[in-house]
Structure 1
Amino acid sequence: MARLPGLPSALGFLVSDMPQARETSLSREIVAGLTTFGAMGYIVIVNPQILSATGADRHVLIVITALAAMFGTIVMAIFSRLPVALAPAMGSNIVFSQVVVVRMGLSYGTALVMVLLGGVLFTLLSVSNLRSAVVRGFPESIRVGLQCGIGLFIAYLGLVGGGLVRHAPSGAPAFGDLTMPATLLTFAGLLITPVLMLMRVRGALLLSIVAITLCGLVVPGPHGGMLTVLPSRPVQWPSLPRQFVFGFDFRQFADHFFLALPVALYFFLGDFFSATATLIGVTRRAGLMTPDGQFPNARRAYLADGIASLIGACIGSPTVAAYVESATGVESGGRTGLTALVVAALFGLSVFFWPLIAAIPAQATCPALVMVGILMMDGIRHIDHSRFENPVSAVLILLLTVTTGNLMVGLCTGCFAYTLMMVGLREWRRLTPVLLLIDAMLVLYLYLSATSIA
């Protein structure tokens, strides 16, 4: 059994039976955990900002985000013993707030039921042998288009929240007013943040948020006073989100079942493909991948991701998923579940700093949101442009999501276009049961949305 010198015996299970533990040390695992948290700590700031569109209290959302990340990462550390951290997923939080609550007009509790259902599907798939069948049955161009569409929408919301994009009297988007100091500060942050990322500054996104927040102490805000107002008590005992713990609205979900089901399917598919890509990518960079494309404790890792979403839904969070930022910890030497446990501890500590986090203005999160959106659009380069149907379906999802502000409309258009093109080409093998099932649910979704039956 592998052991780490200096590691308490009570934590020995985190490295037991893991050959990669021989390549690391206790100090290296701790540094790796600190590095991973520095890279993904922005989620404690950005996620509440996005979810605040639901009308929920930002203080409560900060606590929910931190607790969901902490519990999810602990589950991954214990189950898989891999250096992978989890948190509420960027993309799912947009669908949760902007699509389900704002666009569809459903309650926060109904959105939680959708997340719960997606987590149940993911967990069941993780313990079965159907995972590879789902991967093969879902067209890559649609998956990439979905990811890129959400990424562009996240970037757009960041620009609007930061004041760099406003709506002119005609209703068309227009550039922000740079004569306003707060907008100018946001613009400067947007230009500097990618430079920090290119220079490989650790925690560049978190650093940009902190820097803009500090500058906001002396920069006038758009509504009078300074942009950043520090709390009198920066550290305070958090209020538990009691109204959101097991806050499921099963009655409204049942009343709108066929309208809500496709969105629940999105939560499942989004988490499923995100987990698959992240776990493979992180373990490959850690040198844990075998020649046949497998990594240690793969089934337990997928199961942990599904359970994390179930726990997250129970405490009021959107889908909890593995974060690709875990790769930064791997590059710092993290190889075992101890790295993940360090990240979980830091998320737990962040709960007590909620007054400081709540004081961070929307302008400070703008560059981080835009950069996250750009990173999510990276997948567009993997589309096979030698076949016309691939870029068409992906770009249709991208365009319709951004122009309508509705992810489900974009997904419907991309899936229907892909299916009809396959029918026209008579490539029946590419009309998989997974794709046809999604098409059927999306047809029902469009019908119910258009007729307002639900």
Structure 2
Amino acid sequence: MISRIGIRVNIEAFFKISERKTSVGTEVYAGFITFLAMSYILAVNPAILGDIPGMDHGAVFTATAVAAALATLIMGVFGNYPVMLAPGMSMNGFFKGMLLSGAISLVWHEAMFGIFLSGIVYLIFSMTKIRQQMIEAIPEDLKLAISVSLGLFIAFLGLKNAGIIVSNPIILVSMGNISDPQVMIAYISIFIALACMIRSIKLATFISFVSAIILTILADWVLGTNYAPLPDEIMSLPPSVMPSFGAIFDLSGFTAEKWMDLLFVIVIFFIVDFFDGLSTIVGVGRDAGIITKDGKVPNARSALVADAGGTVIGAVLGTTSITAFSESGIASSQGARTGLAAVVASVLFIASLFFFPLFSIFSAAMVAPAMVVIGVYMIGRLGDIDWSKMESRIAAFFTIMFTLLSFSPANGMAMGFISYAFSMLVAGKGREVHPLIYGLSVLFVGYLLLT
């Protein structure tokens, strides 16, 4: 009994539980629910990368789980942020398309070596004071806009994954077929969660996720839809990671003609990983109340190094860029304020290694309702933006709109910075803008030109 009390006291002191006005129970629950919302990556990432010639599906699964666990653990223990990391969804698709389309002459492990080098550059950059200063130099209204855009991006991704919103060649997007059982399941699960939110039930996100799983299984049983075919076994030993572990260092087939392609990979993945991670850390940190009103970011260096180091670890294991996941917003919306939530998620990623057969049936559609709910939570930050300032209004508009319409938090952040710097200059307030904002705006222009 005494030892348990001692452990609890040490945990509370280490993670500053009381100081950040949270509780161990809240942190554990938030880490658990965020892991569930992120866990689709354990099925989706191997499905995407496993189609690339030379890459092994099982090895990618193991690399995904281990890299996510290590990076998230570093973030939780050393950064003390409720931010979880895993292979970025946008970058794994880009990586696959780049290789299969023949856009570059590199084979998969050579291109992955480029990602490894981009992570090294990112890591070195993160260990300087420049990146911390960048976050602290961001205006409060722009931080709020980033937080809101992150929530809406998560919700939009959820609606897309559920089939509620679908592509339309004439009007870009439109409503999905509501008679589709999968779409109907998502609607029902979302409205169950909304009812919980209205009644102030904190389990709303988790309930939406569980209801989607139950309804999906029932649909398979009653309608024979086969959305979640049950495996022959639930647990097994993790697939071997050896087919991809360290493969990036095999440069025996590398030729002089491939140097420009390698440089392209380094630059693109560095820029996207850098700003995707930055937007998520700023958004979640602001939503969790960790980033203070004057823009200070406590223990920023450790958090940023964890984000950068994740990419290095992931590339060595055999997966694409590890980045701060947008779904981390779920943790902060459920009351998480410390890295304990991230540690919980990290432990669950390790445990998931032994449930490879089970995760093989997990789909993005099954976690879509939980992602929509987070958008409802985070949109409340709109009310905190000072809309009377035209430059803030413009920057917020561009941040949110480009995040959603270009389907990229990095693009939204780019347009937010550029429009803010431009608006302040035109308003005659250029001297009030931190020099780093101008420097970032120039970098963002270059980023948009390269992508």
TM-score tier after normalising by the smaller chain length? 0.7 to 0.9
Residues 317-326 or 12-21, more deviating: 12-21
Distance in 1 (alpha carbons) for counterparts of 2:414 and 2:15: 46
Q: Deviations over 1:100-150 (max 9, x none)?
A: 655997787657855863575356544x44455222434455555455445
Q: CA deviation at 1:188?
A: 0.7
| Residue matched to 1:160 | 160
Residue 159 (structure 1) shift = 1.8
Structure 2 Cα separation of the partners of residues 22 and 436 of structure 1: 38
Q: Pick from 72, 87, 91: which aligns with 1:96? A: 91
Q: Whole-Å Cα distance in 2 between the matches of residues 193 and 171 of structure 1?
A: 30
**1:186-235: CA deviation from partner (whole Å, max 9, x where unpaired):** 211121123335556565434433332222223159x9643221111111
* Structure 1, 157-166 or 107-116: larger mean CA deviation: 107-116
* 1:267 aligns to 2:273 (yes or no): yes
Corresponding letter in the other structure for 1:70? A
Equivalents in 2 of 1:405, 1:113: separation in Å? Answer: 24
Q: Which residue of 2 aligns with 1:384?
A: 386
C-alpha contact 2:146 2:283 (8 A) present in aligned 1: no
Please give the root-mean-square deviation of Cα atoms over the aligned residues, in Å.
4.7
Structure 1 residues 298 and 214 mapped into 2: Cα distance closer, same or farther (>3 Å)? same
Please state how far the C-alpha of 1:183 moved relative to its aligned partner: 2.1
Does the CA-based 8 Å contact 2:44-2:363 persist in structure 1?
Answer: no
The number of residue pairs the alignment matches comes to 426
Change (3 A) 1:256 1:400: farther
Contact 2:48-2:92 within 8 A present in 1 as well: yes
Aligned residue in 2 for 1:6: 3
Distance 2:178 2:247 in 1: 43
What corresponds to 1:68 in structure 2?
67
Quote the residue 1:45 is aligned against. 39
> Would the aligned equivalents of 1:181 and 1:219 in 2 still touch at CA under 8 Å?
yes
Check whether the contact 1:166–1:175 (CA below 8 A) recurs between aligned residues: yes
Q: Which amino acid aligns with 2:349?
A: F
Q: Which residue of 1 aligns with 2:354?
A: 352
Counterpart residue type for residue 74 of structure 2: V
SS in 1 for 2:271: helix
Whole-angstrom distance in 2 between the partners of 1:330 and 1:150:
17
Matching of residues 204-215 of structure 1 within 5 Å: 204-215=204-215
Please, what TM-score do these two structures have when normalized by structure 1?
0.72
Q: Which residue of 1 aligns with 2:438?
A: 436
Tell me the amino acid that sits aligned with residue 166 of structure 2: R
User: Residue in 1 aligned with 2:185?
Assistant: 185
- How far is the alpha carbon of 1:364 from its aligned partner? 1.5
Distance across 2 between alignment mates of 1:444 and 1:374: 33
Determine the structure 2 residue equivalent to 1:117.
118
Identity value in percent: 19
Q: Deviations over 1:325-347 (max 9, x none)?
A: 6669987xx9896x765553333
Structure 1 equivalent of residue 54 of structure 2: none
After superposition, what is the alpha-carbon deviation per residue over 1:19-41, rounded to whole angstroms, capped at 9, x for unaligned?
96999xxxx96x56642432212
Encode CA deviations 1:396-429: one digit per residue, 9 max, x unaligned.
2322343344556545543433333233223332
Name 1:319's counterpart in structure 2: 322
Contact 1:18-1:336 within 8 A present in 2 as well: no
Distance 1:114 1:172 in 2: 32
Distance 1:131 1:231 in 2: 46
The superposition leaves residues 333-380 of structure 1 with CA deviations (integer Å, 9 ceiling, x where unpaired) of x9896x765553333112211222221344322212222344454543
Q: Does the aligned pair in 2 maintain the 1:70–1:347 contact within 8 Å?
A: yes
Q: Which moved more, 1:145-154 or 1:111-120?
A: 111-120
CA distance in 2, matches of 1:390, 1:283: 21
Query: How has the CA–CA distance of structure 1 residues 175 and 125 changed in structure 2, closer, same or farther, with 3 Å as cutoff?
Result: closer
CA distance in 1, matches of 2:438, 2:264: 16
Match of 1:452 in 2: none
Q: Distance in 2 between matches of 1:394 and 1:35?
A: 32
| TM-score, scaled relative to structure 2 | 0.72
User: For residue 403 of structure 1, what is the aligned residue in structure 2?
Assistant: 405
Letter in 2 for 1:261: V
* Worse overlay, 341-350 or 268-277: 268-277
**Rounded Cα–Cα distance in structure 2 between residues aligned with 1:13 and 1:246:** 41
Which amino acid is 1:87 matched to? M
Over 3 Å counting, the alpha-carbon distance change for 1:39 and 1:266 in structure 2 is: same
Contact 1:118-1:268 within 8 A present in 2 as well: no
- In the TM superposition, what are the counterparts of 1:242-321 in structure 2 within 5 Å? 242=242, 244-246=244-246, 254-255=260-261, 257=263, 261=267, 264-272=270-278, 274-275=280-281, 278=284, 300=302, 303-304=305-306, 306-315=308-317, 316=319, 318-321=321-324
Q: SS at 2:29's partner residue?
A: helix
Instruction: Quote the Cα distance in structure 2 between the aligned partners of 1:240 and 1:352.
Output: 12
Q: Determine if contact 1:189/1:367 at 8 Å carries over to the other structure.
A: yes
